[in-house]
Structure 1
Amino acid sequence: MVQKIQAIRFKQWLSEWDDFDFDAEQHRRKPDAHILLFSMPAVQLRALSGVYRRTRDHEGGEGLQRLHDPKRSAAIRDFVRFGHPYSGLPILARDEPSAALRKPGWLPTAIVVNILTEGDERRGRKVSPSDIVSIYNDGGSRAELTLPYSDRLKQWVPSDLEPFEVIDGQHRLWAFEEALKDGNLPGDFELPVVAFTGLDVGWQAYLFWSINVSPKRINPSHAFDLFPLLRSAAWLETLSDLRIYRQARAQELTELLYTQPESPFHNRINMLGESSKTAPAGAGVTQAGWVQAITTSFLSTGSGRSANGLFAAEISPATGPLRWSRPQQAAFLIVLWNSIRQALMQSTEEWVAQLTRPNGPEMLDRDAVAAFTGNRTMLNQEQGVRGVLAVANEIFFSLAQLNTNDFEIETQLFPGTATSSEDVSVAISELENTKLMNWINDFGTSIASFDWRSADAPGLDDNQQMLKRAFRGSSGYVALRAQLFKHLSNGPKEIADVASEALKRSF
């Protein structure tokens, strides 16, 4: 008995398309107005499907698909078994503590295929008449496909050309073919299929391009904004050296900077990566920018050439890392930035006046906040945020090594529980009553006296503009960090000493 499957038949066609230039000689004959939607077991779909590699010769190109990448298929196979982010972990890191990261590996995106007809020819080959997949429909919304075999899970082999050709989804199919051999995935795992019928290769190339090239990727800030919905509570109980853990922690700290009323960035971070026209007022830095800046500074593990992160690396082999909870980490960042903001509000620096009184001293009202939240201060740009966090982390990590006891803060908070706004407020209050606060204020005062104007700010001479432009781009982070350490080396003594040592080590 032959195998039959049911399909939904739907129409995607506009009457104005009838006037388009369809040309069979150019492999663009007029397509069928209807498309099919159905599902079938992965083993069955793989057996029916051929994949045509993209090749070129002196007469031009042929085929659509890229060369099969076994690593990509293996990654898909692992994703199906374990979900994200567990499937992305190194094999040695897939231990019991990481088990909480496992999730279902759904593949809801359809494999896109073309069902070949009797007249279709590919590279001199055709589908054998006995292997043709016949389609019956009554003119309505349902269709029935008759397959050339009876057992839906049998590894069927075509007589000649496969009756399906894959337009998009080859690596998903190969992931199942390889997994079926070693028993990692079941053969009855079903995949959704969108099927065209008798579609010329010219239209297939157009479809492949529109699926793989045309769509705009989700912006990183939007992706990070989904983190709280994706992760389980166990993600953040232990700060692992795995990047996914540190990014999740950085995202939570960014969220707290955005939502905490005491934060100078309250409602002032571009959480969704919107354009400057739709982003919140004064939000010059995206969530992705903040996550990257915190991950590479305070949450750095110190491995390789990276700096030791105050929130992640061991202060010493004897003491280990700081035992600060998430509310305490958020409180430190909030208090640190508040000290910078407060210093700017009281500053008499000429560069601050240039930003806060752009029209000169005749202005009676001084918009002091412009030096911190304006669009021409690097403190409201990614370069400035990364620069401040980088040097602050190195300064306070060194101070923690020299004065470990001063970083042991008595707290009434319980680690490992969900972080609330009230917890962060308590942590801020506790931090403000410690000796550590003196260093934070010294740092804030010193860093605020640096000229934070961006290259397009008013009052810059040619040399100053050239220096500011050097801070742009990836190499600009290194240049800015060097200038900040040089500036801090002339500040309060203990911070100046640490900054001078950092200069000797790095530059």
Structure 2
Amino acid sequence: MAGKVEAIRFKQWLPEWDDFDFDPNQHRRKPEDHILLFSMPAVQLRALSGVYRRKEGVGLQRLHDPKRSAAIRDFVRFGHPYSSLPRAARDEGSAAMRKPGWLPTAIVVNILNGDDERRGRRVAAEDLVKIVHDDSARAELTMPYADQLEQWTPKALEPFEVIDGQHRLWAFDEALADGTLPGDFELPVVAFTGLDVGWQAYLFWSINVSPKRINPSHAFDLFPLLRSAEWLETLSDLRIYRQARAQELTEILYNQPESPFYNRINMLGESSKTAPPGAGVSQAGWVQAMTTSFLSTGSGRSAKGLFAADITPVAGPLPWSRPQQAAFLIVLWKAIEDAVCNPELEWVVPLMQPDGQQNLDPSPELAFTGSRTMLNQEQGVRGVLAVANEIFFSLAQLRPGLFDLKTRVVAGVATNPEDVTTAVAELGGTELQMLIVGFAQAIAPFDWRSADAPGLDEQLRLVKRAFRGSSGYVALREQLFSHLAKAPNDIARIAAESLARLS
């Protein structure tokens, strides 16, 4: 016999909302005009909710900080301030500080219907939560099982999606297992029904970010759909996020030991005499280059960014977290460094002999780190990022499975070097990593010498001088696409299509 839950049904809808832009193709189909309010034992809510196993969901990566859940668990048992005391201080002398740890704030969930699909998965028919209501303010929910304290497991997708409050559910996970919290401890629940994922992202933003409760950059990792939300672009929040994310990625490239730009970015905009050795590009240059490439929303005539724009209207944006995005850039630039530091490349030899003389210890690394290579200058960095972004964005559209990487990195928490190292290792050996290497090997023979490099004839020097300034970025992109169009692979075909669009 299935279990029943009584709910209050309340209306939150204004007539003028009917005229808003509801678009199923953008994950924004028209929502129901009523919301449900009920209570449920934490163990049942946890079992019904996809908060634990939904990393494969449509871009809805869930944040989990174990320390935060542990703090909530202790708060429920002991209240404040006892729960915040160090364990060594929790003794008979401080026992009088214990108080009830109430959790009156509702968990916000979405109840999936039979047509809702998350990357090819749906709730099994026998696991659907059935809702019956009349014109009154009451509703009855029929659960897929009867015993509220049963350790139930769905046959496919869980019928609940947690929009906000996952830490409170995680707090009960270990506590229920070890008996420190009872299974009949109830939590209030506010439930939407059949709410599209775009509206879930919007609702999460409204609850957590609009009141300035969490870092917006964390929110964009939790709900990647926010990265392409037009309403955020209008409010400038999205532009601010993109610039902040570009700066975060730049700092990771500078601080991460695996990065070929480790300690080699001019973070403070110093002169060439005082900047770190080999730091030819400023932090501002990197931020601008990434904002206009991998973090571009694709509005107007600009290219769509792999880390920001919808890959397709149905799939939404790539659900990579900051460590994964940083890992991609590190692997990309490391592959380029390995490919260009090759003394057999014709353009590299003059950089190894800057004065036309044989050196005692000629180094092909000057092709990547020297002062006369565009790969260590703003126009070269911007050109590489622009072209690489367009190539791999097109690959993501053609072969989305390449970018569906399994990861142990938890989205939405503060990025640390260990997470980036993990993401770099997870990318290694994948087909995507091999394509990155192929891209690097294809782009390496391009003559990356700057206009003041040795060995240039006058005509080639004029061509390279044309790469300077704002118009030079477009000219360099055309030259790079023209060069890549000669490579014998998918990269060549995409480059040729991009070149045709520029013409």
| TM-score, length of structure 1 as denominator length | 0.54
Q: CA 1:331 to 1:232, structure 2 compared with 1: closer, same or farther past 3 Å?
A: closer
1:425 to 413, 421, 425: 421
Question: Residue 345 of structure 1 aligns with which residue?
Answer: 341
Q: Which residue of 2 aligns with 1:416?
A: 412
The Cα of 1:347 is off from its aligned counterpart by 4.5
Distance 1:488 1:361 in 2: 32
SS at match of 2:497: helix
SS of residue in 2 equivalent to 1:350: coil
Q: Which residue of 1 aligns with 2:462?
A: 466
Cα contact 1:314–1:322 (8 A) shared by 2: yes
Whether the 8 Å contact between 1:407 and 1:436 is mirrored in structure 2 is: yes
**1:233 CA drift (Å):** 5.2
Q: Does 1:296 align with 2:404?
A: no
2:326 alignment partner, one of 330, 333, 354 = 330
1:487 aligns with 2:483: yes
Whether the 8 Å contact between 2:278 and 2:369 is mirrored in structure 1 is yes
CA, structure 1 residues 470+102, in 2 after alignment: closer, same or farther (shift >3 Å)?
A: farther
For residues 70-104 of structure 1, what are the alpha-carbon distances to aligned partners after superposition, in whole Å with 9 as ceiling and x for unaligned?
xxxxxxxxxxxxxxxxxxxxxxxx9982774778x
Matched, 1:282 2:390: no
* Paired amino acid for 1:481: R
Structure 2 residue 377 is matched with structure 1 residue 381: yes
User: Could you report, residue by residue, the CA deviation over 1:129-188 in whole angstroms, capped at 9, with x for unpaired residues?
Assistant: xxxxxxxxxxxxxxxxxxxxxxxxxxxxxxxxxxxxxxxxxxxxxxxxxxxxxxxxxxxx
CA contact (8 A) 2:295 2:307 kept: yes
Q: Deviations over 1:420-476 (max 9, x none)?
A: 101111111110121011110111111111101111100000100100010000000
Preserved contact between residue 284 and residue 381 of structure 1 (Cα < 8 Å): yes
Displacement after TM superposition at 1:236 (Å): 6.3
Which of 245, 261, 264 pairs up with 2:257?
A: 261
Q: Distance in 1 between matches of 2:218 and 2:449?
A: 41
Per-residue CA distance 1:395-415 (angstroms, 9 max, x = gap): 000111111111111111111
Partners of 2:419 and 2:352 in 1: CA distance: 35
Contact 1:390–1:481 (CA<8 Å) still a contact in 2? yes
1:97 corresponding residue in structure 2: 205
Return the alpha-carbon distance in structure 1 between the equivalents of residues 480 and 492 of structure 2: 11
Q: Which residue identity lines up with residue 418 of structure 1 in the other structure?
A: A
CA contact (8 A) 1:376 1:457 kept: yes
**1:451–1:314 distance in 2 versus 1, CA, 3 Å:** same
**Is 1:250 paired with 2:237?**
no
Quick check: 232-241 or 348-357, which moved more?
232-241
Residue 423 of structure 2 aligns to a residue whose secondary structure is helix
Measure how far apart 1:325 and its partner are: 1.1
Cα distance in 2, alignment partners of residues 237 and 376 from structure 1:
42
Is residue 236 of structure 2 the alignment partner of residue 240 of structure 1? no
Task: Report if the CA contact (8 A) 2:332-2:440 is conserved.
Answer: yes
Which range moves more in the overlay, 488-497 or 282-291?
488-497
Question: Residue 371 of structure 2: SS of its match in structure 1?
Answer: coil
C-alpha spacing 1:366/1:403, structure 2 compared with 1 (3 Å): same
Aligned AA (2:475): A
CA distance in 2, matches of 1:315, 1:494: 18
1:301–1:431 distance in 2 versus 1, CA, 3 Å: same
Match for residue 395 of structure 2 among 395, 399, 404: 399
Tell me which stretches of 4 or more aligned residues in structure 1 moved more than 4 Å. 230-239
Match of 1:451 in 2: 447
- Residue pair 2:221, 2:321 contacting (<8 A) in 1 also: no
Counterparts in 2 of 1:111-150, with a 5 A limit?
none
Aligned partner of 1:274: which letter? Answer: E
Change (3 A) 1:376 1:361: same
Which residue pairs with 2:124 in the alignment? none
Which one-letter code corresponds to 2:227 in the other structure?
Answer: S
Distance 1:407 1:435 in 2: 9
Distance 1:303 1:362 in 2: 50
Tell me which moved more, 316-325 or 383-392.
Answer: 316-325
Aligned length: 291
Compared with structure 1, are the counterparts of its residues 235 and 440 closer, same or farther at alpha carbon in structure 2 (3 Å cutoff)?
closer
**Secondary structure of the corresponding residue to residue 315 of structure 1:** strand
Structure 2 residue 435 is the aligned partner of structure 1 residue 439 = yes
What's the offset of the Cα at 1:363? 2.7
Q: What's the RMSD between the two structures over aligned residues?
A: 2.4
8 A Cα contact 2:289 2:385, kept in partner:
yes
State the AA in 1 paired with 2:494.
V
What is aligned with 2:309? 313
Match for 2:250: what amino acid?
Answer: T
For residue 240 of structure 1, give the secondary structure of its aligned residue in structure 2.
helix
Q: Which amino acid aligns with 2:319?
A: R
- The alpha carbon displacement at 1:333 in A equals 0.2
Q: Deviations over 1:98-134 (max 9, x none)?
A: 774778xxxxxxxxxxxxxxxxxxxxxxxxxxxxxxx
Percent of aligned pairs sharing the same letter: 64
Residues 209 and 216, structure 2, Cα contact 8 Å, conserved in 1: no
Shift of 1:317: 1.7
Could you list the per-position Cα deviations for residues 291-339 of structure 1 after superposition, in whole angstroms to 9, with x for gaps in the alignment?
1100110011111111010011111122111111110100000000000
Q: How far did 1:360 drift?
A: 3.7
The 1-side partners of 2:466 and 2:325 are apart by 32
- Structure 1 pair 383–232 and aligned structure 2 pair: CA distance change class (3 A): closer
Q: Is the contact made by 1:101 and 1:235 (CA closer than 8 Å) also made in structure 2?
A: no
Q: Which residue of 2 aligns with 1:506?
A: 502
3-state SS in 1 of match to 2:227: coil
1:267/1:231 CA distance change after superposition, 3 Å: farther
Q: Contact 1:285/1:382 (CA < 8 Å) preserved in 2?
A: yes
- In 1, are the aligned partners of 2:340 and 2:368 still within 8 Å (CA)? yes
Greater Cα offset, 334-343 or 239-248: 239-248
The amino acid across from 1:240 in the alignment is: R
Greater relative CO, 1 or 2 (CA 8 Å, sep 6+) = 2
**8 A contact 1:269–1:285 mirrored in 2:** yes
Distance of 2:396 and 2:481 partners within structure 1: 18
**Residues 100, 232 of structure 1: 8 Å contact kept:** no
Q: What are the ranges of 5 or more consecutive residues in structure 2 without an aligned counterpart?
A: 1-201, 229-237
Q: In the alignment, residue 456 of structure 1 is paired with which amino acid?
A: D
Question: Is the CA contact (8 Å cut-off) linking 2:342 and 2:348 kept in structure 1?
Answer: no
Q: How many angstroms apart in 2 are the aligned matches of 1:96 and 1:500? A: 41
C-alpha separation between the residues in 1 aligned to 2:465 and 2:254? 29
